[in-house]
Amino acid sequence: MRTLITGGAGYIGSHVARLLGDRGDAVVVVDDLSTGFTDRLGGARLVRLDLASDTAPSILGDVLREERIDAVLHLAARKQVHESVQRPAWYYSQNVGSLANLLLAMESASVSKLVFSSSAAVYGAVEGDSVAESATTRPVNPYGRTKLIGEQLIDDAAFGSGLSAVSLRYFNVGGAGWADLADRAVLNLVPMVFQRLDAGLPPVIFGDDYPTPDGTCVRDYVHVLDLADAHIAALDHLAAGATGHEVFNVGTGEGTSVRAMVDEILTVAGSTLTPEVHPRRPGDPARVVASAALIAEKLGWRAERGLEEIVRSAWEAHLTGTPGV
């Protein structure tokens, strides 16, 4: 299989690229390096391109033809919720515009298999113990809306132009499969706690008065290597002849409270600091946990790595001193 990965210089895309390379698949990466790093690429060819630019469809169409690409994994996106609130038009042009350009290029090169990075952010405020793919989607910020519109655009392309696609709605991603591919952004809970510990400061928990067992928010953490495996399962599903557009949650189905996660980090880091509790942040739902039944049934994928492995692998990568980790 010859695969093109957009966002392959990023945290998750580089894990997917390395797993595909390890099994002998040819991989080409398209990335503008806005938040990606070339040292994550290994031997993969990089085409440096802003997918949202006017020239992207024709450049990308040429790459798809020259490289005889069979399938595209589209991970490139802007993903900062706060920034999406401040610059909504730019987020739409980046995330929705890039996808539209990619679909134009795929159509022109007759490439019809796509795996799309979506997000649990499409659900918005969720109710119940776990959220299934059939739940109402009511994203609460522009970032989540760009992902939902992306899914809708793919629905239309699957209906109108014969695209075969899988969208993966990631829950909370963490860990590192290889130290050099670690998450270098400080946007998620684990890197944020590491940053506090580095500064000799106690970790911060936002709100301990939620209606959850220990009062802190509950999330579903999935190891980045398990997530990368889910992309390969999706790709193989398309290669086996799946048609239309299917949407799957990628989570473990297990909830972990913020306090339990912070405690695990303190244990792994050997720290005796006591977390500080600050007031709730606006917009944080109490509990967001995936129903992971559909992806197990249809793709045979299940998360294999637990919380300890997520934290330990992230901490070990942090200790190797990868820039920004």
Ligand X SMILES: NC(=O)c1ccc[n+]([C@@H]2O[C@H](COP(=O)([O-])OP(=O)(O)OC[C@H]3O[C@@H](n4cnc5c(N)ncnc54)[C@H](O)[C@@H]3O)[C@@H](O)[C@H]2O)c1
Task: Show contacts with ligand X in window 99-158 (CB under 6 A).
Answer: 117, 119
Candidates 3, 13, 226, 310; binder of ligand X (CB under 6 A) is 13
Candidates 16, 32, 73, 303; binder of ligand X (CB under 6 A) is 32
Stretch that binds ligand X, among 32-40, 122-130, 200-208, 317-325 (CB under 6 A): 32-40
Contact indicator for 163, 114 with CB cutoff of 8 Å = yes
* Residue 167 makes contact with ligand X by CB under 6 A: no
Which of 44, 208 has the CB closer to ligand X? 44
| Least spacing, CB of residue 291 vs ligand X, in Å | 17
Candidates 5, 17, 69, 94; binder of ligand X (CB under 6 A) is 94
**Rounded CA separation 119/173 (Å):** 10
Chain center to CA of 279: 28
Stretch that binds ligand X, among 3-11, 156-164, 256-264, 268-276 (CB under 6 A): 3-11
Query: Which amino acid belongs to residue 107?
Result: E
| Least spacing, CB of residue 85 vs ligand X, in Å | 15
**Rounded CA separation 324/125 (Å):** 32
| Least spacing, CB of residue 83 vs ligand X, in Å | 12
Strand ranges, E, within the chain:
2-6, 26-31, 45-48, 71-74, 113-119, 164-170, 172-174, 204-206, 218-219, 221-223, 245-250, 256-257, 276-278, 287-288
**Rounded CA separation 289/130 (Å):** 5
Fill in the DSSP letter of residue 236: H
Query: Using CB under 6 A as the criterion, which residues of the chain lie in contact with ligand X when the complex forms?
Result: 7, 9-13, 31-36, 50-52, 75-79, 94, 98, 117, 119, 170, 173, 188
